[in-house]
Amino acid sequence: MSAAFKSNPVYRRNARPIAIFKSGNMLMTTPADPSVYWFRNAAKSRICAEIVKRAQLRGALSIVDYGCGRLGDWPAVVRQYPMISYFGYEPDPTEAGVARQRAAGTSIHIMTRGEFAALDGHADVVVSFSVLEHVRDRPAYLRSCQRVLKPGGTVFLSYDDGHFRSRVENDRVESVLVALRAGIRQLGSRFRRPASYQRAVAANVLASEIAAAGLRVDKVRYENLGDFKQLAKVNPSDRRADFVAFWIEVEDRLNASFASDGPPFRGDRAGLWQACLTRTLELKHVNEPHPFTPSAAR
């Protein structure tokens, strides 16, 4: 790995859901319902639906995917919705090579490091899925998000959270073991190659870093109930759309009514992290006004 690449703020493990992309059950290869993407991940599916809605309303929309990995369902999305212009950036050269192969025949452009560094105010939407927890230099990463975002645009920052925040209950031995394994995994990643790095992100620390980067938190949402993720793996293809809609509806209700304050844990007073594996932030430029909502204050 070159010194230039090592200086890049985004380091991610290679263990993205590659097997899912290769699976015959994947929507990419068997689109039983082309309106449902990332059917095993409610956060990504919901964000994709929101982006498609915005693109349809505007007639055109540009996306920058920061840490795009192997592209997930994006090739299918841009084929179905050609008004979306997609630009991906992946610092890992192996993953970027696979992304370019999967983008063949589509309008997707996978940027080089130089192209990404030169990008300024280009994106209506910046997406970054399951990247933040693998970033060594979060301030630099967030400054890049701010730099490429257009005025009035949105950053969808969705990252693994509940995986790292196992609650230890003294009367449950298994909870101690889960927490111990999570701690060992994080500690070990610091001594492996950079692409394997992963670490829990404290909500209060992240909030300060977001503000310092010239961004503000517009919305916070807890997503991907663990049991629902397991159920999504076994649903028949003709029921995926119904299941994803129900899954998102349940999480809508949880976030609207039950994200109650609780004892602080890693800078976060919302208790939904105990059941939801993903924390999603919608970010805006700091100087853009927004209506106050309870979710924005969490």
pLDDT of residue 152: 95
- Any idea what DSSP says for residue 237? G
Tens digits of residue pLDDT in 52-102: 999 999 999 999 999 999 999 999 999 999 999 999 999 999 999 999 999
Nearest 5°: CA angle at 30, between 104 and 106? 15
Q: Is residue 117 a contact partner of residue 37, using CB atoms and an 8 Å limit?
A: no
Task: Return the sign of the alpha-carbon dihedral for residues 233, 239, 240, 245.
Answer: negative
Contact (Cβ atoms closer than 8 angstroms) between residue 272 and residue 254: yes
- DSSP symbol at 135: B
pLDDT digits (tens, 9 = 90+) for 160-169: 986 666 544 3
- pTM for this entry: 0.78
Q: Where are the alpha helices (DSSP H) in the chain?
A: 3-6, 18-22, 42-58, 74-80, 93-103, 113-118, 138-148, 173-189, 203-212, 226-232, 240-257, 294-297
Alpha-carbon distance of 298 to 292, in angstroms, equals 11
DSSP assignment letter at 166: P
The tokens describing 278, both together, are 């993903």
Q: Beta-carbon neighbour count of residue 268 at 10 Å? A: 22
Q: What is the SS3 assignment for 52?
A: helix
Query: Tens of pLDDT along 170-190?
Result: 444 444 444 455 555 545 544
- Closest to 165 measured CA to CA, from 274, 278, 270: 274
- CATH-assigned architecture of domain 3-165+199-297: 3-Layer(aba) Sandwich (3.40)
Per-residue model confidence as pLDDT tens digits over 130-149 = 999 999 999 999 999 999 99
